[in-house]
Amino acid sequence: MSKPDIKLDKEYKLFIGGEFVEAENGETLASYCPADGELLAHIAQASQKDVDKAVEAAWEGFREYKKTSRYERAAILNKIADVIDENRDHLAMVESLDNGKPIRETRAVDIPLASEHFRYFAGAILAEEGSANAIDENTLSIVLREPLGVVGQIIPWNFPFLMAAWKLSPALAAGDAVVMKPSSTTSLSLMELMKLIKDIVPKGVINIVTGSGSKSGQYLLDHKNLSKLAFTGSTEVGYKIADAAAKNLIPATLELGGKSANIFFDDCDLDLAIDGLAMGILFNQGQVCCAGSRVFVQEGIYDEFVKRAVEKFSQIKVGLPWEEDTQIGAQVNRSQTEKVLGYIDLAKKEGAQIAIGGEKACGNGTEKGYFTMPTLITQVKNDMTVAREEIFGPVAVVIPFKEEADVVAMANDSEYGLGGAVWTRNINRALRVARAIETGRMWVNTYNQLPAGAPFGGYKKSGIGRENHKMMLDAYSQVKNIFINT
Ligand code: TAP
């Protein structure tokens, strides 16, 4: 299939105070398709002044928006969800071209899950209940939640559209205004969404400042007049966010990296398990914060598991993102691909073996882009670099284990704690292991489902806070207690 000719702007402006505006100094950055290197569009590079303007516009927007009833806010969220659903195919293709994700994933996962999040938080805000207590015969204590004000939100490139939805939906539901900075690598789907919802969202409630992390991002996180920071991205940048929040004495929620354990016991259903291995590490080219990248396999099934995993990986179609049968698309850019291949080289140097993959993909039209073969690395020890650091590619390392206690200890021997799974037919073991692993999310006999309504976030260095759940409304609001002497 030839590359679809979809309608994109040549240049995307900033979105401030309900209008698309040029960056004050006219600076732009180019956005390329990682599957063939073609220029897709330019995005504006927000300056310090632009970020200041966006924060001001957000405060102005907030002053009106905080007066809206929760019914009005729920209606806005539901309208955004409707617009996303109506434009699903277009948004999915923009995301696939800009990020390299296969169209079957963007159409079935990224875009519909985004609208699901807006609908979920529309429902959640309507279901919120306040509380009042009689302290004594004459005194009532009323507990109210009020919005925080203006939130600075910074999101990554691996799920550009979905991460925007994860951040915008609770903030808007709670009554806050936002200034959001998407990744400069993948800003197009969000800018396309802003074109579609410009007249649905009250002026100033959503402001988008595109541009690089080191400039636009840094200006935003250092801004003195924000009420909160919300960040998804690497643990490295997470430290900077926490620092900036501490300096300005504001709260920060952080969704960071991971090195999740995918644990397979001898008694698991092997067919299901091999699918779960692939789902855990190949989804989104492995560029998933909770990817099942450390694969622990019990000794009794180890040889058979590796043999079947190699068979499975050899059948995966790596190809152009816009083709319907592509299962693995392009990595997001050259530096990410080089990083992944660098880790594979390091694994070899550290004494591990490449059971399959380990190189750039070629064939199926992938020559011009950044494609990596699905890769399985065996003979890995838990203290090797490839078992400790986040690779963020379609690369799983396999580590054998003997006993339940051994695998729990190895799985927990990590600075991260974001996702993970256990595969077994023994329900007691499944629950024991799920409870013993130090992580924010454990799947049992499945992997990588991320529906709205299920709290998601990290233990340890994987973050602070939980997204996707109504508890996020607390993180986007503050408590007012009114005491009445009746
Ligand atoms: P980062 O390099 O941390 O970038 C994330 C965002 O921060 C981007 O918008 C980036 O902008 C911006 N940024 C970079 N430096 C900044 C600075 N000094 N000040 C302010 N903003 C700055 O992460 P990434 O490479 O995009 O994403 C991959 C990482 O995110 C992985 O570690 C992954 O595990 C993690 N992640 C976690 C989750 C959850 S839910 N825990 C979900 C997705 C991804 P530019 O891109 O324009 O430089």
Side-chain-facing half-sphere of 355: CA atoms under 13 Å: 24
What gap in Å lies between CA 479 and CA 146, rounded to an integer? 6
Over residues 290-307, the mean pLDDT reads 98
Instruction: Please give the share of the chain, as a percent, with pLDDT higher than 90.
Output: 97
Give every CB contact of residue 86 below 8 A, 6+ residues apart in sequence.
none
Q: What is the pLDDT of residue 416?
A: 97
333 alpha carbon – ligand 1 mean position (Å) = 14
Q: Indicate whether 130 pLDDT > 90.
A: no
By the 8 A CB rule, do 142 and 26 touch? no
State in Å: Cα 356 to ligand 1 middle.
29
Q: Write the single-letter amino acid at 1.
A: M
Give the tens place of pLDDT for each residue, 342-351.
999 999 999 9
Question: Which ligand 1 atom minimizes the distance to the CA of 456?
Answer: 40
- Could you tell me the distance, in angstroms and rounded to a whole number, from the CA of residue 232 to the centre of ligand 1? 6
| Angle, vertex CA 148, rays to CA 191 and CA 233, nearest 5 | 50
The predicted pLDDT at position 2 comes to 85
| Atom number of ligand 1 nearest to Cα 182 | 9
Residue 312, classified by CB atoms within 10 Å of its CB into exposed (0-12), middle (13-18) or buried (19+), is middle
Which ipTM did the prediction report? Answer: 0.93
Contact in structure between 462 and 257 (CB atoms under 8 Å): yes
Residue from 214, 237, 247, 294 whose mutation best tests the ligand 1 pocket (most atoms within 8 A of CB): 237
* Ligand 1 pocket, mutate which of 31, 179, 234, 439 (most atoms under 8 A from CB): 234
Distance CA 486, CA 483 (A): 9
Which candidate, 282, 386, 289, places its Cα nearest to that of 344?
386
Measured from the CA of 458, which atom of ligand 1 is nearest?
A: 41
d(CA 280, CA 285): 10
**Residue whose CA is at the smallest distance from ligand 1 atom 31:** 234
CA-nearest residue for atom 18, ligand 1, is 214
Per-residue confidence (pLDDT) for residue 74, from 0 to 100: 98
Residue nearest to atom 26 of ligand 1 (CA): 156
* Number of neighbouring beta carbons within 10 Å of residue 36: 18
Query: Ligand 1, residues 167, 183, 462: which to mutate, most atoms within 8 A of Cβ?
Result: 183
Q: Whose CA is closest to atom 15 on ligand 1?
A: 213
For residue 467, the ligand 1 atom closest to its alpha carbon is 40
CA 18 to centroid of ligand 1, rounded, Å: 26
The residue nearest atom 43 of ligand 1, judged by CA position, is 289
Per residue in 426-464, pLDDT tens? 999 999 999 999 999 999 999 999 999 999 999 999 999
Contact call for residues 94 and 188 (beta carbons, < 8 A) = yes
Structure tokens at 79: 């309208």
Q: What's the CA-to-centroid distance between 233 and ligand 1, angstroms?
A: 3
CA 308 to ligand 1 center in whole angstroms: 34
pLDDT (tens digit per residue) in 331-378? 999 999 999 999 999 999 999 999 999 999 988 888 899 999 999 999
In a 10 Å sphere around its CB, with 0-12 CB exposed, 13-18 middle and 19+ buried, how is residue 201 labelled?
A: buried
Task: Say whether 128 is catalytic.
Answer: no
> pLDDT by residue (tens digit) across 133-191?
999 999 999 999 999 999 999 999 999 999 999 999 999 999 999 999 999 999 999 99
**CA 269 to ligand 1 center in whole angstroms:** 36
Task: Evaluate if pTM is beyond 0.90.
Answer: yes
At 29, is the secondary structure helix, strand, or coil? strand
Measured CA distances, 107 to 103, 211, 285 (Å): 6, 26, 16
Pocket of ligand 1 (CB under 6 A): 154-158, 181, 183-185, 212-214, 217-218, 221, 232-234, 237, 240, 255-258, 289, 390, 392, 418, 458, 463
pLDDT band at 414 (very low <50, low <70, confident <90, very high): very high
Of 95, 116, 192, 255, the active-site residue reads 255
Q: How far is the CA of 231 from the centre of ligand 1 (A)?
A: 8
CA angle 476, 477, 482 (to 5 degrees): 175
Q: Under a CB-based contact definition with an 8 Å cutoff, are residues 337 and 394 in contact?
A: no
Residue nearest atom 38 of ligand 1, based on CA coordinates: 289
